């Protein structure tokens, strides 16, 4: 069996039984897991600051709605991140599904919009 010029397989030139290159068991899954945790922490800080701003700045209907929506989006992001970190525990994790990527990006954009709504 031959490997691509970039060297995607094992060093001895072999691969998995189905022809796919063997996964390097390096630290990449751990780095990805840590990145998901950092991003979740950032989303948590945004949601907490939105709630604090809504309560501290005078409880208006728009501020409370923005804080409540921020909390819901934070929970949605938490679910996406938790599922992804669990998927990284497998021996050969697959790529991030497109639905999960869209959900994570959507949660990030929505958190930013709700933060602007809370400040307005």
The better pLDDT of the pair 56, 105 is held by 105
Grouping H, G, I as helix, E, B as strand and the rest as coil, residue 57 is coil
Distance of alpha carbon 114 from alpha carbon 23, whole angstroms: 40
Distance of alpha carbon 23 from alpha carbon 85, whole angstroms: 17
pLDDT, tens only, 46-100: 888 888 888 886 777 877 888 888 889 999 999 999 999 998 888 778 888 999 9
The answer to whether the beta carbons of residues 37 and 85 sit under 8 Å apart is yes
pLDDT, tens only, 37-46: 999 999 899 8
Indicate if the pLDDT at residue 15 is higher than 70: no
Indicate if the pLDDT at residue 105 is higher than 60: yes
């Amino acid at each position: 069996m031959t490997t691509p010029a970039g060297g995607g397989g094992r060093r001895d030139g072999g691969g998995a039984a189905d022809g796919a290159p063997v996964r390097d068991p390096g630290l990449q899954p751990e780095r990805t897991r840590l990145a998901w945790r950092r991003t979740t922490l950032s989303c948590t800080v945004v949601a907490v600051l939105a709630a604090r701003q809504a309560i501290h700045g005078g409880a208006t209907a728009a501020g409370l709605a923005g804080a409540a929506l921020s909390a819901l989006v934070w929970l949605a992001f938490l679910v996406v991140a938790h599922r992804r970190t669990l998927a990284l525990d497998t021996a050969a994790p697959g790529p991030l599904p497109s639905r999960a990527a869209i959900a994570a990006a959507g949660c990030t954009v929505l958190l930013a919009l709700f933060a602007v709504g809370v400040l307005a």
